Every structure is written in C-alpha cells, then in structure tokens.
C-alpha cells in the first residue's frame, strides 16, 4: 500500500484520509516537515486556502513541501487544495501565497460568489463509470491553463455562460474544484493512486 500524506493543518483531513484508505493507500497525516519523508504522494484537502497557507508558513512546512513538489512528489488538491497547487490566483488577497506546481490560473470563490454550493453530474470518461457526482462548496474554477495541463472535467456556468474547468492534471499533479472526499466515492482517489504509481518509484511506494 503506497503511503500517501494528507496535509493536516486545516480542512477536511479525515475525509481524505478515509477516502485514501478505501482506495488502497496508507494515509499519513502531515503537520511537520519530517512527516514528508518517505511519502509516495500527498493530498492537499479542501478547507480555507488562506488559513492553510498561513499555517504552512507558521509550521515551517511551506518550504519543505514546495521543495518536495518541485522534486516531483505527486499531489492531489481538492478545492482549497486546488488553489494551493496553482501557480497563479485571481481574486485572492495580495499576501496569499500558494505552493504552486500546476501551470494554471485559479479564481477563488468563483462559483461561490453566485451559488454557495451545488452538486452536479460531471462527465469523466477517464474514470470507470464515466461520470462523477461532484459536490462544490464555495468552489474555485480554473480560469486558464498552460499547454502542459490536461483538462479533465468542466462544469456548467451558473448563469448559462461557457463551461468552466473544474478538474486538471499535469504529470503527477491533480486538482479538482469539487470535493470527492465528501461523497463516499473513492474513484477519484483511486485515480490519483494510479498517477502516483505512474510517477515511478518513490520511497513510500510499495
Ligand atoms: N473558498 C475556499 C478557499 O478559497 C475553498 C473552499 C473549499 O475548500 N471548500 O480556500
């Protein structure tokens, strides 16, 4: 079972740990830098991205985590986690930092300004079954994505405008605007585990 960290500073950490366990991983909560050692991948949970950003700096976890991501540690971010994996933000406080890694521009609270939360069925041909029931809570969307980024899913605009990008992948980095960890459906975490295995040998992979 691959050892997958869950960044455990704030947010729905337990839900991600449970989803990882039911998709065949060994979850490990990560609060300090030493707990990054030996991970095969890491999940950045949903929650409040400004809080996770500040706590990561206060806990001196930010720099080691950024270094691990730059070194190729596979990561999956949901909602606030997507924001934290983005290289660029719009509509964010000027002092908000991200860990980065994904060549995307993310708009915070993009859906949230219009509809605080909603659920919808997304077409996800890359998952077994081909669709996914997605839960959005004050969710961001991906405003634009660089050429190396694969768009995995889009969701309708609340006002009938063009669809918005809500799931992306770039090598071993995966991000979704929605929260598969609250839906009791482990297929998205299982997909992340496939990316972890495809990323090749790492200490936590066995
Ligand atoms: N709006 C939150 C943020 O900007 C994200 C919401 C969530 O993770 N459900 O961090």
**Burial environment of residue 106 by CB neighbours within 10 A (0 to 12, 13 to 18, 19 or more):** buried
With a threshold of 0.90, tell me whether the complex ipTM lies above it.
yes
Please tell me the class of the 3-198 domain.
alpha beta
State which of 11, 47, 179 you would mutate to test the pocket of ligand 1, scoring each by most atoms of that ligand within 8 A of its C-beta.
47
Could you confirm whether 119 is annotated as catalytic?
A: no
- For residue 161, the CA-to-ligand 1 centroid distance in Å is 22
- Consult the annotation and say whether 28 binds a ligand: no
pTM for this predicted structure:
0.96
Q: For 162-198, how does the pLDDT look when each residue is reduced to its tens digit (9 = 90+)?
A: 999 999 999 999 999 999 999 889 999 999 999 999 9
Q: Give the other-Cβ count within 10 Å of 92's Cβ.
A: 20
Distance CA 132, CA 182 (A): 13
- Decide: 108 in ligand 1 pocket, CB within 6 A: yes
Could you confirm whether 181 is annotated as catalytic?
A: yes
- Decide: 134 in ligand 1 pocket, CB within 6 A: no
Q: For 26-69, how does the pLDDT look when each residue is reduced to its tens digit (9 = 90+)?
A: 999 999 999 999 999 999 999 999 999 999 999 999 999 999 99
């Amino acid at each position: 079972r691959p050892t997958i960290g869950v960044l455990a500073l704030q947010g729905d950490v337990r839900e991600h740990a449970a989803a990882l366990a039911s998709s065949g991983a060994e979850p490990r909560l990560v609060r300090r830098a030493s707990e990054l050692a030996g991970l095969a991948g890491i999940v950045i949970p949903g929650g409040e991205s400004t809080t996770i950003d500040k706590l990561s700096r206060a806990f001196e976890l930010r720099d080691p985590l950024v270094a691990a991501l730059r070194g190729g540690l596979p990561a999956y971010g949901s909602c606030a986690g997507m924001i934290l994996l983005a290289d660029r933000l719009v509509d964010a406080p000027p002092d908000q930092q991200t860990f980065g890694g994904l060549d995307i521009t993310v708009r915070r609270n993009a859906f949230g300004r219009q509809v605080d939360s909603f659920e919808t069925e997304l077409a996800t041909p890359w998952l077994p079954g081909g669709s996914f029931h997605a839960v959005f809570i004050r969710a961001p969307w991906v405003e634009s994505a660089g050429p190396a980024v694969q768009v995995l899913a889009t969701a309708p605009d609340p006002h009938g405008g063009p669809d918005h990008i809500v799931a992306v992948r770039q090598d071993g980095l995966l991000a979704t605007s929605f929260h598969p960890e609250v839906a009791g459906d482990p297929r998205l975490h299982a997909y992340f585990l496939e990316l972890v295995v495809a990323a090749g040998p790492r200490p936590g992979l066995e």
